[in-house]
């Protein structure tokens, strides 16, 4: 593979001159530039993009740190954010943190090596201070109240309220709530909104905390068996809701005739299962676009806009809950 030295030799110029042509920096007379450009074409030279980025101090790479890659929601969010940044010739570098400090330390080394232009932190980041030390443009999704960092989230409190109202209007009174880890801000907000409406109607509910990624079928079945009076289950993610529908089927309970099930997210597979899943939609499109606009604004010096942005949610009525 030809190198920059080969281009310099073919053009009969210095390596520094070839570098100025490649980076369009400094003065190179028109005739010399033509010699260099011709040599590049003839040799089929491909510039080292990393080396050029270090020279320009502009990598055109955005780092995106996610807690895991194994959910429909995160994969959809990553894909849409990547599409937005690609329109501006930025590349997205994905890092799967897994809440592992040793992995994060290695990631931070990569961040410095590649001179990334900015970062997107998604959901719970236990060692936030390590990212702040990078002193790079940064935004966070599903965070709030982080000093000096713009944050974005769906209206999870309102989503919990919509869920409770829908189930109550459908005649449900013995409601279970299967949610994700209570340490997560999204879980706390959805619970707050859900409980506020139940309290207004004098209703109580029982909660079960599970892993968002791999909901334990046995735990869900045991939870349902412990509460045979339940006529509705609100789930904090569509993955949990789909697993819950399967558990109810195995227990001989019909959805929605015996138990109504409501999810959260509106991932594509929810529409394909039987019965199709009623859910609270948080818009991947709006989250991704807002994240893109905020971070690009900081990188280009226009500013991020307001510090915390909340995107709206809405009910998607399908077969797993009854029609009013």
Structure tokens at 233: 């289950």
- 185 part of a folded domain: yes
Helix (H, G, I), strand (E, B) or coil at 122: strand
- Give this prediction's pTM: 0.80
Number of structural domains in the chain? 3
Helix (H, G, I), strand (E, B) or coil at 323: coil
Structure tokens at 30: 């028109």
Rounded-to-5 percentages of helix, strand, coil across the chain: 45, 20, 35
Residue 225 pLDDT class (50, 70, 90 cuts): very high
- 317 part of a folded domain: no
Q: What is the CATH number of the domain that holds 43?
A: 1.10.260.40
Distance between CA 144 and CA 297 in Å, rounded?
19
- 111 part of a folded domain: yes
Tens digit of each residue's pLDDT (9 = 90 or more) over 278-302: 999 999 999 999 999 999 999 988 7
**Same structural domain for residues 167 and 254?**
yes
pLDDT at res. 40: 85
How many helical (H) and strand (E) elements, i.e. helices and strands, does the chain have? 12, 12
- 163 part of a folded domain: yes
**Same structural domain for residues 239 and 297?**
no
**Same structural domain for residues 12 and 67?**
no
**Same structural domain for residues 248 and 293?**
no
How many whole angstroms from its chain centre is CA 283?
11
Partners of 206 in the beta sheet? 176
**Same structural domain for residues 98 and 27?**
no
pLDDT at res. 95: 86
**Same structural domain for residues 243 and 186?**
yes
CB atoms within 10 A of CB 106: 12
CB–CB of 320/262 below 8 Å?
Answer: yes
Q: What is the radius of gyration, based on Cα positions, of the chain?
A: 26
**Same structural domain for residues 307 and 288?**
yes
Distance between CA 108 and CA 112 in Å, rounded?
6
**Same structural domain for residues 173 and 255?**
yes
Range of the domain at 17: 4-47
- 172 part of a folded domain: yes
**Same structural domain for residues 245 and 303?**
no
Q: What is the CATH number of the domain that holds 83?
A: 3.40.50.2300
**Same structural domain for residues 237 and 93?**
no
Tens digit of each residue's pLDDT (9 = 90 or more) over 33-90: 888 888 888 888 866 655 555 555 567 889 898 877 777 888 899 999 999 999 998 9
Distance between CA 2 and CA 190 in Å, rounded?
57
CB–CB of 280/263 below 8 Å?
Answer: yes
Owner of token pair 């597979």: 269
């Amino acid at each position: 593979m030809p190198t920059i030295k080969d281009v310099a030799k073919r053009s009969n110029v210095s390596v520094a001159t070839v570098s100025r042509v490649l980076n369009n920096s400094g003065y190179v007379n028109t005739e010399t530039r033509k010699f260099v450009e011709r040599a590049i074409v003839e040799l089929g030279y491909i510039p080292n993009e990393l080396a050029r980025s270090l020279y320009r101090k502009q990598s055109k790479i955005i780092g995106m740190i996610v807690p895991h890659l194994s959910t429909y929601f995160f994969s959809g969010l990553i894909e849409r954010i990547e599409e937005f940044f690609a329109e501006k010739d930025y590349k997205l570098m994905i890092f799967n943190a897994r809440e592992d400090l040793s992995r994060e330390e290695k990631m931070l080394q990569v961040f410095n090596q590649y001179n990334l232009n900015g970062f997107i932190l998604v959901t719970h980041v236990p060692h936030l201070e390590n990212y702040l030390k990078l002193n790079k443009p940064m935004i966070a999704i599903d965070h709030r109240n982080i000093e000096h960092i713009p944050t974005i989230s769906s209206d999870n409190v309102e989503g919990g309220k919509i869920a409770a109202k829908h189930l109550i209007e459908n005649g449900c009174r013995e409601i279970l709530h299967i949610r994700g880890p209570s340490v997560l801000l999204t879980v706390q907000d959805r619970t707050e909104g859900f409980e506020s409406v139940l309290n207004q109607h004098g209703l109580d509910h029982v909660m079960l905390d599970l892993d968002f990624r791999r909901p334990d079928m046995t735990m869900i079945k045991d939870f349902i068996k412990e509460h045979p009076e339940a006529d509705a289950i609100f789930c904090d993610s569509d993955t949990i809701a789909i697993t819950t529908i399967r558990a109810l089927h195995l227990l001989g309970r019909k959805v929605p005739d015996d138990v109504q099930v409501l999810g959260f997210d509106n991932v594509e597979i929810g529409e394909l299962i039987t019965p199709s899943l009623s859910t609270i939609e948080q818009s991947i499109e709006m989250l991704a676009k807002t994240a893109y606009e905020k971070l690009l604004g900081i990188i280009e010096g226009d500013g991020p806009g307001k510090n915390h942005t909340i995107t709206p949610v809405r009910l998607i009525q399908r077969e797993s809950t009854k029609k009013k």
